[in-house]
Amino acid sequence: MRKIDRMVSAIDPATEPVVSQGVHDLFEEIVATGPPRRRRSWLPSLRRPVVIAVAAAASVSIAIGVGLPAGGPALEYANAAVSIKMADDYFAVTITDPAADRRRFEEAFRAVGLNVTVKVIPAAPDEVGTLFGPIVPEGFKWRGSIGVQSVTPCSSAFCGKVWMPADFPGRVVLGVGRPAEPGEPYAGDHAYDPSGEESLDGYTVHGKTVAAVRAELQRRQLKVGYRLLWILPDGGFFDETVPADRIKDDWIVNGSRDHSSDTVALYVVPGPGAGPIPDPLKVATPQWYDLTD
């Protein structure tokens, strides 16, 4: 399966409530320059390596603050989970232990002056160690911009750039992908892009009936989940997670995403009898950055 690195940045979700609360928020609203990198991604990678020193032992943390006033942020910090180095206009980040306690990640970010909350979230195999976000739940209203960009080649779980104003006063959330348990939903699976790759290798679900795709999933011994893909009058869209009895066999599948190791989510175009378009704010699925630890 194709693996492509990602580039994302945040925009104020308060300006477009439908998009920010629906699936579309993760690739167009909250992550403005592109969708979160999953095994199904759509953006080119940056081909310049970033070299960062990493702590050699779990008990070691390193902080360097050359030229800084006493008590100021470090220019470089590393522990057994992550290392961060301040550059001219971004922070170079290398993740070495995706399964580490989130407090080790927060410790490193705060050492270099970034006040962020970090959540360790279940991810698909090729996203383990990936940095998700940054997410600004209340909306990014500050000078400059925030974002993250992965960098290759990388000898660790993840190498990338993070850019954000060090003095940003709002709440910022980052996610670190950890290995998902068998059957555990992937935290980033709600993002949907109509142009994105599909889940089933060698089989195109787009344009086929629900019955046909379901039969193929059963042949592959995979479970299926359903999401109605509602198209808004202004061209926007959002999805609604629904049970199987809300879906008709002859409705058309628009796309698919891996929901977990054994389940594929189908995005289905509502057909006759689907009812009126619901309020997207009332049917929005909680995202990983909304969940409490």
3-state secondary structure 180-232: CCCCCCCCCCCCCCCCCCCCCCCCCCCCCEHHHHHHHHHHCCCEEEEEEEEEC
Tokens of residue 206, six digits:
């787009």
**Which residues are within 8 A (CB) of 291 and not within 5 positions of it... i.e. 6 or more apart?**
119
pLDDT digits (tens, 9 = 90+) for 27-78: 343 333 333 333 333 222 232 333 222 222 333 334 433 334 446 678 899 9
Omega prior to 153 cis, within 30 of 0? yes
Q: Which of left, alpha, beta for 139 (phi over 0: left; psi -120 to 50: alpha)?
A: left
Q: How confident is the model at residue 144 (pLDDT cuts 50, 70, 90)?
A: confident
Distance CA 108, CA 55 (A): 12
Any alpha helices (H) in the chain, and if so which ranges? 17-21, 102-111, 210-219, 280-283
Q: How confident is the model at residue 263 (pLDDT cuts 50, 70, 90)?
A: very high
Report pLDDT for 196. 66
Strand partners, 62: 78
Please give the residue that has the higher pLDDT: either 253 or 25.
Answer: 253
252-258: strand order across its sheet? 237-242, 223-231, 263-269, 252-258
Helices (H) and strands (E) in the chain, counts: 4, 14
Neighbours of 174 (CB within 10 A): 24
Candidate ranges 11-20, 60-69, 195-204; pick with highest mean pLDDT: 195-204
Cβ burial of 266 (10 Å; 0-12, 13-18, 19+) is: buried
Half-sphere exposure of 2 (CA within 13 A, CB side): 16
Distance CA 177, CA 124 (A): 8
The domain locations on the chain are 7-179, 210-290
pLDDT digits (tens, 9 = 90+) for 211-245: 999 999 999 999 999 999 998 888 888 899 999 99
pLDDT digits (tens, 9 = 90+) for 267-293: 999 999 999 999 988 988 888 887 655
Q: What are phi and psi of 131, to 5 degrees?
A: -95, 120
Report pLDDT for 293. 55
Q: Give the range among 22-26, 88-92, 105-109, 216-220 with minimum mean pLDDT.
A: 22-26
Strand partners, 51: none
